[in-house]
Structures are given as structure tokens and as C-alpha cells.
Structure 1
Amino acid sequence: MSDSLSVVIFQGTESEFWPAVMQIRKTVFVDEQQIDISLEFDDIEVEAYHLIVLDNGRPAGVCRFFKTEEGYKMGRFAVLKEFRGQGIGNALIQASLSEIEDIAEDGSKIYLHAQTYVTKFYEEEGFNIEGDEFMEDGIPHVLMVQTI
């Protein structure tokens, strides 16, 4: 991770960074990818762990994870256009995996629904595709999994 990048992790929506998380997700998913805003924010927000990468203090990318019956689900990876290709996604994945490893039991499953066009990115981070492509919010996805 570059010296100019820092990662903030918080649980729930009571952080000073929550408005920036919402804005980044709205910009990437609602404005760019045309996902209905009613599908973007859900009841899980209050229990999820949220991560935001700051580039020299400027919010650049976000994601979240939460515990489910199956393991830990990661998602809502979003990087603002002007910050793409600068390692923000890698910083989010690595910080998420590190945090999950700190709180999860050995052998826990970590999974995500990856947009099909970015599966290589997640494979490089140790995830494997399981099953067939499916549609989520009108966008092709695949289930990707790894075990810690």
C-alpha cells in the first residue's frame, strides 16, 4: 500500500466516515452502474464492518463485510473513477481479509459476489469461482470463495 493511502475500519453507521461511504457507493453503483438506489443500502449496514481507503485524506474507495451463517461475506467494493488503477482495491481486499482473520475462526469461509468482469482481480487475491454465473441487480456475477 502506498504511503499516501490509509484504511479506516468501523462497524455500523455511526462513524464520521459513513457519509463518505454512502457517497462513494452512490457514485459508483447508482450513478455509474445504474443500480436502483433502493437496492444499494440495506438493513445490514448497521451491523457490517465498513472500510474506506483515504488517499492523502481524500475518500477514494470503500467496501464492507459481515458475518453470515455461511461465513463472512465481503461486498460493495467501490473505487471512485479518478482513483482506479492505483491499488485502492487491493488495499480494501487486504485490509478486509486481515480484519476477518483477526475475528474469524480458522477454517471460516470468506465469500463475495463478484461482477464477472473483475473475477481475475479477486482470483489474484486468493478467491476461487464456485458455481455458475448469475444475475444480481441486472449485472452478471459469480460466487467467489476462499477459506482462512
Structure 2
Amino acid sequence: MSDSLSVVFLEGTSSEFWPAVMQIRKEVFVDEQQIDISLEFDDIDATAHHLLVLDDGRPAGVCRYFKTEEGYKMGRFAVTKSFRGQGIGNALIQASLSEIEEIAPEGTRVYLHAQKTVTGFYEEEGFVIKGGEFMEDGIIHVLMEQTL
């Protein structure tokens, strides 16, 4: 991770950084990808672990993860246009996996629903496609996972 990047960890939505998380997700998912805002923000946000990457203090990318009966689900990966291609997504995945490894036993399943167009990115981070394509919020996704 670059010296100018820092990661802020948030539990739920009560942090002073929550508005920055919401802004990035709105910009990427609602404005760019035309996902209905009512689908973007859900009840899971209140209890999920959120990560916000700052580049020299400027909000650059976000994601979240939470425990399920099947393991830990990662999602809502979003990097603003002006910061894409600079390693923000990699920093988010690596920081999330590091955090999950600290709280989950070895052998824990970590999974996500990846937009089909970015599966190569997740494969580079050790995720493997499991199963076929499906629609989620009007976008083609695939299930991807790895084991800690």
C-alpha cells in the first residue's frame, strides 16, 4: 500500500466517516451503475464492518464484510473514478482479508458476489469462481470464494 494510503475501519454506521462511505457507494453504484438507491443501502450496513481507504486524507474507496452462516461475505467494493487503477481495490481486499483472518479460524470460507466484468481482479486476489452467473441489482454476477 502506498505511503499516501490509509485504511479506516468502521463498525456499523455511527462513525464520523460514514458519510464518506455513503458518498462513494452512491457515486459508484447509484450514479454510475444506475442501481436503485433503495437497494444500495440496507439493514446490513448497521452491523457490518466497513473499510474506507483514504489517499492523502481524501476518500478513495470502500467495502464491507460481515459474518453469515456460510462464512464471511465481502461486498460493496467501490473505488471512485479519479482513484481507479492505483491499488485502492487491492488495499481494500488485503485489509479486509487481514481483518477477517484475525477473527475467524483457519479454514473459514470468505466469499463475494462479483460483477462478471471484474472477476479477473478478484482472481488475482485468490478468489475462485464457484457456480454460474446470476443477476443481482440488474447486473450479472458470479459467486467467488477462497478459504483462509
TM-score, length-normalised on structure 1? 0.99
CA–CA separation in structure 2 for the residues paired with 1:13 and 1:136: 24
CA–CA separation in structure 2 for the residues paired with 1:14 and 1:101: 24
SS in structure 1 at match of 2:145: strand
SS in structure 2 at match of 1:102: helix
Aligned equivalent of 1:143: 143
For residues 111-134 of structure 1, the C-alpha deviation after alignment (integer angstroms, 9 at most, x for no partner) is: 000000100000000000000011
Aligned equivalent of 2:70: 70
CA–CA separation in structure 2 for the residues paired with 1:48 and 1:36: 20
For residues 55-77 of structure 1, the C-alpha deviation after alignment (integer angstroms, 9 at most, x for no partner) is: 00000000000000000000000
SS in structure 1 at match of 2:15: coil
SS in structure 1 at match of 2:107: coil
CA RMSD of aligned residues (A): 0.4
Structure 2: runs of 5+ lacking an equivalent: none
TM-score, length-normalised on structure 2? 0.99
CA–CA separation in structure 1 for the residues paired with 2:102 and 2:14: 22
Give the paired residue count.
148
How do 1:1-148 and structure 2 match up within 5 A? 1-148=1-148
- Deviation for aligned residue 1:106: 1.2
Structure 1: runs of 5+ lacking an equivalent: none
CA–CA separation in structure 2 for the residues paired with 1:101 and 1:10: 17
CA–CA separation in structure 2 for the residues paired with 1:30 and 1:54: 21
SS in structure 2 at match of 1:120: helix
